[in-house]
Amino acid sequence: MVHMPTRDQVIDALRTVIDPELRRDIVELEMVRSVEIHPNGVVDVMVSLTTPGCPIRTHFETGVTQAIRELGEVSHVNVSFDVLSDNEKQALGRKLGRGALPEGALAQVSNVICIGSGKGGVGKSSVTANLAAALAAQGKQVGVLDADVWGYSQPRMLGLGNERPRVNAERKLMPLTAHDGISVMSIGFFIEQDAAVVWRGPMLHKALQQFLEDVDWGALDYLLIDLPPGTGDVSMTLAQLLPQAKFVIVTTPQPVAQKVARRSAEMATKLKLEIAGVIENMSAFVTPTGERYAVFGEGGGQLLAEELEVPLLAKVPLTMGLREQSDAGTPLVLSDPDDPAAQAIYQGARGLIALSPVELPVMQAPAPAAAPKPVGMSLPMA
Ligand SMILES: Nc1ncnc2c1ncn2[C@@H]1O[C@H](COP(=O)(O)OP(=O)(O)OP(=O)(O)O)[C@@H](O)[C@H]1O
Ligand SMILES: [Mg+2]
């Protein structure tokens, strides 16, 4: 007696099949047209595509077949295709549009990269600041959005202390400029030093949305986003606003990587963002005489990268220089490019460049010059 999977089980299994362009699963996208389960162990599935000549047909075919075969008791899976009607495509567009930024915001930004980690204090902010400077040193236009609204650190790390952002003629906030023309925006620019910020859900959402929509980021090759630790509200909101963003996970070398790996993989699934790679930070400390101390263990970054099937972009060693630079305001990659940590970050930057599609941002005519005037944001203070 063969126990065939139920229709619900098949549908559930199909939730693991992701449309690589739309970054959502085919069930959520309502692209599963029909499912038929035959008593002889054969399952027929019809998937609707957005265009007839869809190059990702085989991706769906393999994905659907594998997902259903994993249910057991299935002898064969037939996958067929049809095309969404114009009405269905419009409905899909509306569905995808919900929560996303309006057309035009960040239109000139080629790559959005969120730098995150499963836990705090692993060096996300240090890596972000240095990666930004390393990319800028390679001739890229770079922006940094400090999305750690509670523990912002980019103003300090990039040496932007006392200035306040201004608005331009189009009533957009101008990011501040750090070393080598890095455009920077942080909540820290708007509040008194060390004042605590109390954020509630909708306000937080609004503030982040403002940072993306109402800031004149201009044409950027890379917008790096320094995330707060974990998968809190900030990460969720950003993932929702920026479905095109990629994710770089910073981790330490502890070989408890199994647990960290699982948490990071869960985080990526939850955020529905593509993972671009892993950066291991605080790798072995090497003394000037060449002695090596693996203070935080070894191999964690490699394990995590293997687990997630993404490249290990860099192994950044612990160095005195990297610790000291966070307070000095000049990224180590600029102040001491020969430091082993700086070298590793340059390598990470080159890796990121190699991963990015070569695509020139659309240039716009420069806005007419106008006398800038200072602005404030309405922020809840404690
Ligand atoms: N490779 C390194 N070598 C030496 N010190 C480092 C290194 N990486 C980070 N640090 C130091 O570790 C501390 C934490 O780093 P950082 O603030 O970048 O971490 P974070 O992940 O952003 O933390 P949080 O989760 O609080 O945002 C800082 O004092 C920083 O200078
Ligand atoms: Mg940080």
Give the model confidence (pLDDT) of 222-273 as tens digits: 999 998 887 677 777 787 788 788 889 998 888 765 576 667 767 777 777 8
pLDDT tens, residue by residue, 176-207: 999 979 999 998 888 766 555 555 666 777 78
DSSP string computed for 214-278: SB---SEEEEEEEPPSSS-HHHHHHHHH-TT-EEEEEE---STHHHHHHHHHHHHHHHT-EEEEE
**What is the band of 54 on the pLDDT scale with cuts at 50, 70, 90?**
low
Q: Is the dihedral of CA 204, 206, 207, 213 positive or negative?
A: positive
CA of 121 to the centre of ligand 1 (A): 5
Rounded to an integer, the average pLDDT of 146-155 is 88
Q: Is the pLDDT of residue 320 over 80?
A: yes
Residue nearest to atom 29 of ligand 1 (CA): 323
Q: How far apart are CA 233 and CA 247, in angstroms?
A: 16
Q: Best mutation site among 323, 325, 332, 343 for ligand 1, i.e. most ligand atoms within 8 A of its Cβ? A: 323
Q: Is the pTM of this model over 0.75?
A: no
Distance, CA 125 to ligand 2 centroid (Å)? 4
pLDDT at residue 38 tops 90? yes
370: left (phi over 0), alpha (psi -120 to 50) or beta: beta
Q: What is the pLDDT of residues 101-117, one digit of tens each?
A: 666 678 888 899 999 88
Amino acid at 160: L
Q: First-to-last CA distance in the chain?
A: 67
d(Cα 337, Cα 334) in Å, to the nearest integer? 6
What pLDDT, on a 0 to 100 scale, did the predictor assign at position 185?
Answer: 93
Position 98 confidence tier, pLDDT thresholds 50, 70, 90: very low
How far CA 122 is from CA of 132, 139, 220, 279, 301, in Å, comes to: 17, 28, 27, 10, 12
Q: Which domains does the chain have, with CATH numbers?
A: 8-97 (3.30.300.130), 109-355 (3.40.50.300)
Determine the pLDDT at residue 243. 78
Kindly list the protein residues whose Cβ atom lies closer than 6 A to any atom of ligand 1: 117, 120-126, 148, 151, 153, 229, 281-282, 316, 318-319, 322-323, 326, 341
Task: Give per-residue pLDDT as tens, 67-84.
Answer: 999 888 899 999 999 988
CB under 8 Å to 36, separation ≥6 — which residues?
43, 44, 45
CA distance 348 to 268: 20
How far is the C-alpha of 90 from the C-alpha of 121, rounded, in Å?
A: 44
